[in-house]
């Protein structure tokens, strides 16, 4: 692995972790698509800032971008605040409009400048190592890496300082307000952090990967644990993992790094979605199947108990009668009887079913419930 | 009239304007259901999710004809919505996060495939990016016909299943209890929406397609409470924005997609400000009227209280006293003038104010209304 490759991966891991931290709260607060909106509207901030300073490398561009991020949040909030449209629609109204203005400004007034909408949206991680940071003439590494490390430090500090407030206002906003924490203040401070992260990240990886890194690993982690602390750790881990595996996928296919990382994040999410121990689709299907078997077994026991000792008992407990009475197909009935026999609830004797003592108590228990 | 002339006879402008208008009308119609179902950003997710389908369709067939690429986009968009349903119905992941997942992962995969294709020696893939940012100016008459046909098909589905879509948008549980197969209806609505979105992609592009779904519906919502009217209005707004944006872009030299989006955003802004009953101007005026009415009632009650203290209608009270009592400052004089106009108060010769007989009646009625439980009036 060359130094450049290492630097790219290091940068991507930093971006992945830095995005995953606020991403957890975006997912939990149901504001995931705010990341999509912000990562698009920052283009407008960059364009406007560029018109002011006329320099594509100036840090003012980043400031402009962060400012439009907060402006986007404020606009969405105020449109939602009128009560005329709902929050999701408000997001869908604001960001295409701001993005359109940015595109028009670029094509009308900056056509000759290298301010590429493609580059903004799609990102070019491979180029990041070529922009170096030099301190006193000494090359200390890619500039983007230091920027992202700074943002990562900011996010960690923010989480550490306001963990309690964030947690409370996320899970119970009214309780937070009643206890004297201002949910509005927490909200805007948090969105400020999201903006800065999105801006710093999209500069090196493009806006689509920002969305992928902010939403996909936290959503996967949310399926793996119920504890907030653990969800945060897992998100960071999954973010880093998507970054590294995505990089090698891109190398292997010779394709877009950002795209491959988003794809890798998606693949990890898919694995978690299928195999998560409690909430994965497979665990879910198995639990449902188990419950179905349990339920039918209980039905059978209750049916037998109901007729036990009555004159109809001989008729009702015949194996071939079950399909008629309980509306089970013969194959179904056979399978259920098998399951019930294995569980020791019934015995089969000359085509007739008898409840065991365990079967009787199971039926009584099920009826009491 | 140059514009009209161009619209009628300039082939490019006519094609682009017609295509964009048809597109706007169709996405506006279907957007209504998305917005009502709180899935406004579904359009954003589907349009991003279509990219891998477009690239795969090209990789498999080597063709770049509209119908092939739209077919690929449709398949991927449909798969995206299906996944979205699985994630939201089967897990506890909130729907907006599910949208974000589908959007970013599918688009990322599309990007990966696109760059993979571009590295291949044949340069035939050039132009696939059109779908990213949209290029209405390259619309051909054939494309317009494709858009129009697919659009008509989706409108036909909406018309045929009007009742089903309506119940799905407002009360799906009720629909289920009536025996409607709500899952299948949802799937069908999703399918039609995907169709509408993918045919719009090459005109306005991935990013801006979100607005074409949300904005016409959001604008239409302000003018009416009836679903039928809302759908017609959304189609109208969408169509007008499509055509208007196309014209704007040809006369002003703007890129078409952004021009269309800004036009439709203009419709939203206008509707949110001016629409009767819901618009901001309307509610501001209504609030002002309410404030004035409350102030007038306060001043009337104050006059009545003074009358009760003095016992004579001829006893006047200076403006300053009333201003101090109602704490409304300048507004007090306006309220008094309004009361005078209604014949409830009058100005006495020395410029002070008093109640008329009608005013006394009105005040007792008002106070009785305010305190129905002790109807003996505000005695003494």
The answer to whether the beta carbons of residues A89 and B35 sit under 8 Å apart is: yes
In degrees and rounded to multiples of 5, residue B254 shows phi and psi of -100, 155
- DSSP-assigned letters across all residues of B219-283: HHHTT-S-HHHHHHHHHHHHHHHHHHHHHHHHHHT--HHHHHHHHHHHHHHHHHHH-TTTSHHHH
CA angle A326, A331, A334 (to 5 degrees): 75
Least confident stretch, A125-139, A201-215, B282-296: A125-139
Position B125 scores a pLDDT of 56
- Tell whether the model's pLDDT for residue A99 goes beyond 70: yes
Least confident stretch, A53-57, A74-78, A185-189, B56-60: A53-57
Dig out the tokens for B15 from the structure: 């094609």
> Helices A3-28 and A257-275, interaxial angle, to 10°?
50
Percentage of chain A exceeding pLDDT 90 = 29
Distance CA B237, CA B245 (A): 12
Section B312-318 average pLDDT: 83
Q: Which residues of B195-220 are buried (b: 16+ CB within 10 A; e: fewer)?
A: bbbbbbbbbbbbbbbbbbbbbbbbbb
Phi/psi region, residue A327 (left: phi>0; alpha: psi -120 to 50; beta: rest), is left
Distance CA A205, CA A212 (A): 11
Q: Which residue of B has its CA nearest to A219?
A: B93
- C-alpha distances in angstroms, B176 versus A127, A152, B168, B182, B184? 54, 48, 9, 6, 11
Distance CA B55, CA B116 (A): 10
Q: Residue A354: which H helix or E strand, with range?
A: strand A352-355
Q: Which of B192, B206, B209 shows the shortest CA–CA distance to B150?
A: B192
- Tell whether the model's pLDDT for residue B379 goes beyond 50: no
Dig out the tokens for A45 from the structure: 């901030």
The answer to whether residue B311 neighbours chain A at the CB level (below 8 Å) is: no
The answer to whether the beta carbons of residues A258 and A232 sit under 8 Å apart is: no
The answer to whether residue B234 neighbours chain A at the CB level (below 8 Å) is: no
Least CB–CB distance from A266: residue in B44, B105, B132? B105
Q: Which residues of A touch B268 (CB under 8 A)?
A: 93
Q: How many CB atoms lie within 10 A of CB A248?
A: 13
The answer to whether the beta carbons of residues A280 and A219 sit under 8 Å apart is: no
The answer to whether the beta carbons of residues A211 and A35 sit under 8 Å apart is: yes
- C-alpha distances in angstroms, A316 versus A311, A319, A323, A327? 9, 8, 11, 13
- pLDDT single digits (tens) A213-246: 999 999 999 999 999 999 999 999 999 999 999 9
Helix, coil or strand: residue A353:
strand
Dig out the tokens for B338 from the structure: 């309004």
Q: Name the H helices within chain B.
A: 2-9, 11-36, 42-61, 66-90, 95-118, 130-133, 141-160, 162-170, 172-177, 182-204, 206-221, 227-252, 256-274, 280-310, 319-326, 330-341, 357-370
> Which residues make Cβ contacts (< 8 Å) with residue B295, sequence separation at least 6?
B326, B328, B331, B332, B334, B335
Position A17 scores a pLDDT of 95
User: Is the Cα torsion angle B21, A36, A150, A182 positive or negative in sign?
Assistant: positive
- Asked whether this complex has an ipTM greater than 0.90, the answer is no
B210 and A95: CB-CB below 8 Å?
yes
Least CB–CB distance from B108: residue in A97, A103, A263? A263
Work out the end-to-end distance of chain A between its first and last CA atoms, rounded to an integer number of angstroms: 63
The answer to whether residue B150 neighbours chain A at the CB level (below 8 Å) is: no
Q: Residue B378: which H helix or E strand, with range?
A: none
Distance CA A243, CA A17 (A): 9
Distance CA B135, CA B137 (A): 5
Q: Scanning the structure block, which residue is given the tokens 């982690």?
A: A221
In degrees and rounded to multiples of 5, residue A214 shows phi and psi of -80, -30
Section A25-49 average pLDDT: 88
The answer to whether the beta carbons of residues A147 and A201 sit under 8 Å apart is: no
Distance CA A151, CA A170 (A): 22
DSSP-assigned beta bridge partners for residue B353: B317, B347
Q: How many CB atoms lie within 10 A of CB B245?
A: 31
Predicted structure pTM score: 0.84
Q: Which candidate in A118, A259, A264 is best for mutational testing of the B interface (most B CBs within 10 A)?
A: A259
In degrees and rounded to multiples of 5, residue A142 shows phi and psi of -65, 140
A86 and B129: CB-CB below 8 Å?
no
Q: Which residues of B touch A284 (CB under 8 A)?
A: 90
Q: How many CB atoms lie within 10 A of CB A52?
A: 11
Work out the end-to-end distance of chain B between its first and last CA atoms, rounded to an integer number of angstroms: 75
Section B110-125 average pLDDT: 75
Least CB–CB distance from B108: residue in A117, A208, A273? A208
DSSP-assigned beta bridge partners for residue B354: B346
Section A354-366 average pLDDT: 85
The answer to whether residue B40 neighbours chain A at the CB level (below 8 Å) is: yes
B98 and A84: CB-CB below 8 Å?
no
Q: Which residues of B touch A260 (CB under 8 A)?
A: 108, 112
Size of interface A-B (CB pairs under 8 A): 210
* Most confident segment among B62-66, B110-114, B159-163, B336-340: B159-163
Let me know how long chain B is. 380
Distance CA B14, CA B198 (A): 22
Band (pLDDT 50/70/90 cuts) for residue B121 is low
Q: Which residues of A touch B105 (CB under 8 A)?
A: 212, 216, 262-263, 265-266, 269
The answer to whether the beta carbons of residues A93 and B237 sit under 8 Å apart is: no
Q: Which residues of A touch B115 (CB under 8 A)?
A: 254-256, 259
Position B375 scores a pLDDT of 47
Q: Which residues of B touch A250 (CB under 8 A)?
A: 112
């Amino acid at each position: 692995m060359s130094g450049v490759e290492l630097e790219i991966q290091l940068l991507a891991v930093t971006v992945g972790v830095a995005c995953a931290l606020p991403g957890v709260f975006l997912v939990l607060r149901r504001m995931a698509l705010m990341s999509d909106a912000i990562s698009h509207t920052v283009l407008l901030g960059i364009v406007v800032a560029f018109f002011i300073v006329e320099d594509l490398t100036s840090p003012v561009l980043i400031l402009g971008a962060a400012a439009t991020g907060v402006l986007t949040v404020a606009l969405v909030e105020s449109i939602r605040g009128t009560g005329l449209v709902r929050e999701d629609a408000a997001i869908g109204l604001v960001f295409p409009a701001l993005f359109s203005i940015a595109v028009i400004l670029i094509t009308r007034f900056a056509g000759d400048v290298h301010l590429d909408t493609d580059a903004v949206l799609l990102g070019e991680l491979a180029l990041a190592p070529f922009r170096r940071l030099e301190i006193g003439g000494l090359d200390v590494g890619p500039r983007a890496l230091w920027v992202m490390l700074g943002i990562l430090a900011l996010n960690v500090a923010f989480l550490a300082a306001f963990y309690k407030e964030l947690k409370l206002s996320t899970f119970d906003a009214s309780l937070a307000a009643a206890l004297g924490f201002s949910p509005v203040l927490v909200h805007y401070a948090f969105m400020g952090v999201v903006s800065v992260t999105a801006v710093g990240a999209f500069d090196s990886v493009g806006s689509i990967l920002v969305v992928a890194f902010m939403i996909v690993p936290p959503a996967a982690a949310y399926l793996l644990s119920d504890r907030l602390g653990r969800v945060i750790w897992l998100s960071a881990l999954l973010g880093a993992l998507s970054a590294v595996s995505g990089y090698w996928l891109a190398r292997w296919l010779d394709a877009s790094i950002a795209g491959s990382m988003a794809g890798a994040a998606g693949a990890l999410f898919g694995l978690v979605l299928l195999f998560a121990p409690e909430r994965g689709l497979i665990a879910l299907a198995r639990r449902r199947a188990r419950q179905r078997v349990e339920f039918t077994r209980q039905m059978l026991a209750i049916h037998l108990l109901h007729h036990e000792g009555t004159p109809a008992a001989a008729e009702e407990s015949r194996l071939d009668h079950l399909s008629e009475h309980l509306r089970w197909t013969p194959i179904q009935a056979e399978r259920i009887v098998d399951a019930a026999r294995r569980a020791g609830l019934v015995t089969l004797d000359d085509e007739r079913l008898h409840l065991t003592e365990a079967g009787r108590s199971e039926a009584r228990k099920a009826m009491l419930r | 009239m140059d514009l009209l002339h161009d619209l009628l006879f300039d082939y490019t402008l006519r094609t682009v304007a017609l295509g964009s208008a048809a597109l706007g009308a169709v996405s506006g119609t279907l957007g209504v259901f998305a917005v009502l179902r709180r899935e406004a950003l579904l359009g954003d997710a589907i349009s991003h999710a279509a990219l891998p389908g477009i690239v795969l369709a090209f990789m498999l067939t080597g063709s770049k004809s509209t119908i092939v690429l739209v077919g690929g986009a449709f398949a991927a968009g449909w798969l995206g919505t299906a996944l979205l349903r699985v994630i939201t119905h089967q897990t506890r992941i909130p729907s907006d996060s599910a949208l974000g997942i589908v959007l970013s992962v599918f688009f990322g995969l599309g990007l990966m495939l696109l760059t993979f294709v571009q590295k291949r020696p044949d340069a035939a893939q050039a132009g696939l990016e059109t779908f990213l940012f949209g290029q209405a100016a390259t619309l051909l008459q054939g494309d317009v016909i494709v858009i129009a046909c697919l659009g008509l098909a989706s409108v036909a589905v909406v018309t045929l299943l009007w009742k089903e879509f309506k119940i799905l948008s407002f009360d799906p549980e009720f629909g289920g209890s009536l025996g409607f197969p709500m899952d299948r209806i949802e799937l069908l609505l999703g399918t039609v929406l995907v169709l509408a979105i993918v045919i719009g992609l090459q005109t306005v592009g991935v990013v801006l397609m979100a607005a074409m779904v949300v904005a016409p519906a959001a604008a239409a919502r302000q003018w009416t409470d009836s679903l039928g009217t809302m759908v017609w209005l959304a189609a109208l707004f969408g169509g007008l924005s499509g055509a208007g944006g196309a014209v704007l872009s040809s006369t002003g030299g703007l890129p078409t997609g952004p021009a269309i989006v800004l036009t439709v955003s203009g419709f939203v802004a206008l509707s949110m400000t001016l629409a009767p009953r819901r618009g901001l101007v309307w509610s501001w005026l209504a609030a002002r009227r309410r404030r004035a009415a409350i102030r007038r009632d306060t001043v009337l009650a104050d006059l009545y209280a003074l009358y009760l203290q003095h016992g004579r209608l001829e006893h006047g009270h200076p403006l300053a006293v009333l201003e101090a009592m109602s704490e409304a400052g300048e507004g007090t004089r306006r309220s008094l003038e309004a009361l005078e106009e209604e014949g409830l108060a009058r100005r006495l010769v020395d410029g002070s104010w008093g109640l008329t007989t009608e005013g006394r009646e009105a005040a007792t009625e008002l106070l009785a209304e305010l305190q129905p439980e002790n109807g003996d009036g505000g005695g003494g």
